[in-house]
Amino acid sequence: MRILILNYEFPPIGGGGGVATKIIGEMLVEHGVDIDLLTSSFQNTKLSKSTLNIYQVPAFGRKSLQTSNSISMFSYILFGLIKYFMVLRKNEYDCIYSHFAIPSGVLGTIISKVTKRRHIINIYGGDIYDPSKKSSPHRNKFFNIVVTNILNNCNYIISDSKDLLARLRSYYRVSTKQIAFPIPYASKNRIQTANKKLVKYKLITVSRLVSRKRVEIQIKLLKQLGKEYSLTIIGNGPEKDNLFGLAQKLNIIENVDFVGHVSDKRKYALLNSSDMFLLTSSHEGFGIVIQEAMEHGLALAVTQNVGILDFLKINENYIQLTDNNLDSNVAQIKKFFRSNENIQKMSKQNFKDIQLFSPDQLINKYMKVLHE
């Protein structure tokens, strides 16, 4: 079987959707599927090593690794079409597999119509529902019409959570077959630290620094938690200066470590030396960063609108933070850390439950949709 995967983002360009594309594509390759990936480029950025056959096209107008814009998306569609008809068409794919409804789904729809091949679309969140943006397709009528038409013209929609499927059904009139199953995660850095008596509590987050991630909530939490807590922030983005300024204003800058974009090796080392992972996004279609934290046996504190929580249990895998209730969240975290038994119990549970997302458990679900 030969598949053309389309995604305008691929690590280190973009966020979780690109990472998911890499994981899913490499899982399929391991099980005998021949994969070509058509993605975009950004300046001289070198893409992550992969077993996929990767083709790149220009993304004019893109200004950073972390964020795209309408110009760069249109550029991907235009140059993607040129690349397909000049280079890739001869490969005679069995299936077109687009990641994100926009812009990848637009390109995939055109190619599938021309070639009369099956078209599958993986939705991730921002392409369907992003409460931090006025231009989000669930709010913007024009983009809503575009997304609805793209999704109604494919053969299957894969969502990475039931939460995202529910939002799809709330805001769009789509009759295409739909299914939800999690993004696979191949554990390769499994290190669980020995039981320890904590003196200072190390909190950590891995995030693009954009408004939807609401990292400012974590900085405000840290202020109220006190000096025995620290926060490590891994990632870059347009909100970095604002977040740094907030930490300075609250006089806690000595307890916040902005480490920026780091190698995977450095990221895993920082995760392994931490005690709790924070995620405070207004919405996450899934949340691959949660899987990375689980792999290292971290306790989790997460806001409710995160897709991966479909597959986890409150108070066993995570404590749930409440929107707009700083005092309650501070009290929850302090109560959790008062008991070393709580910490070790959740750590062991998450270290064990990361296996729920093993590719061996999920490959048959993906293959069934691709063949159907």
User: By C-alpha distance, which of 39, 10, 20 is closest to 122?
Assistant: 20
**pLDDT digit of tens for each residue in the chain (372 aa)?**
999 999 999 999 988 889 999 999 999 999 999 999 999 999 888 898 999 999 999 989 888 887 888 899 999 999 999 999 999 999 999 999 999 999 999 999 999 999 999 999 999 988 999 888 888 999 999 999 999 999 999 999 999 999 999 999 999 999 999 999 999 998 766 555 545 555 589 999 999 999 999 999 999 999 999 999 999 999 999 999 999 999 999 999 999 999 999 998 999 999 999 999 999 999 898 989 999 999 999 999 999 889 899 999 999 999 999 988 999 999 999 999 998 888 899 999 999 999 999 998 899 999 999 987
Total tally of structural domains belonging to the chain:
2
Closest to 233 (Cα-Cα) out of 245, 246, 243: 243
Same domain membership, residue 167 and residue 68: yes
The total of other beta-carbon atoms located within 10 Å of residue 175's CB is: 7
pLDDT at position 290 is: 95
* Residue 108 shares a structural domain with residue 237: no
Q: What is the pLDDT of residue 189?
A: 61
User: DSSP string of 99-150?
Assistant: ESTTTHHHHHHHHHHHHT-EEEEEE-STTT--TT-TT-TTT-HHHHHHHHHH
What is the extent of the structural domain holding 259? 201-356
Residue 299 resides in a domain: yes
Q: Are residues 30 and 144 in the same domain?
A: yes
The answer to the question of residue 193 being in a domain is: no
| Residues 344, 283 share a domain | yes
**Same domain, residue pair 79 and 220:** no
Verify that 175 and 207 share a domain, yes or no.
Answer: no
Is residue 372 domain-resident? no
Closest CA to 100 of 122, 75, 83, 82: 122
Q: Are residues 141 and 250 in the same domain?
A: no
Taking alpha carbons only, the member of 6, 1, 28 closest to residue 108 is 6
Work out the burial of residue 255: count CB atoms within 10 Å of its CB; fewer than 13 is exposed, 13-18 middle, 19 or more buried. Answer: buried
Q: Would you state the pLDDT for residue 198?
A: 55
Q: Which CATH number characterizes residue 126's domain?
A: 3.40.50.2000
Is there a single domain that holds both residue 34 and residue 158? yes
Residue 191: inside a domain: no
pLDDT of residue 195: 54
Please indicate, yes or no, if residue 196 is contained in any of the structural domains: no
Alpha carbon distance 372, 367 (integer Å): 8
Instruction: Supply the pLDDT for residue 126.
Output: 85
Identify whether 77 is part of a domain: yes
Residue 299: both structure tokens together = 């306790």
Dihedral, CA of residue 84, residue 89, residue 95 and residue 98, to nearest 10: 0
Whether 364 is covered by a domain: the verdict is no
Establish if 362 belongs to a structural domain.
no
Domain end call among 114, 148, 180: 180
Same domain, 214 and 158: no
**168 and 208 part of one domain:** no
Residues 167 and 244 in one domain: no
Looking at the fold, whether 155 and 15 belong to one and the same domain comes out as yes
What is residue 367's predicted lDDT score, i.e. its pLDDT? 94
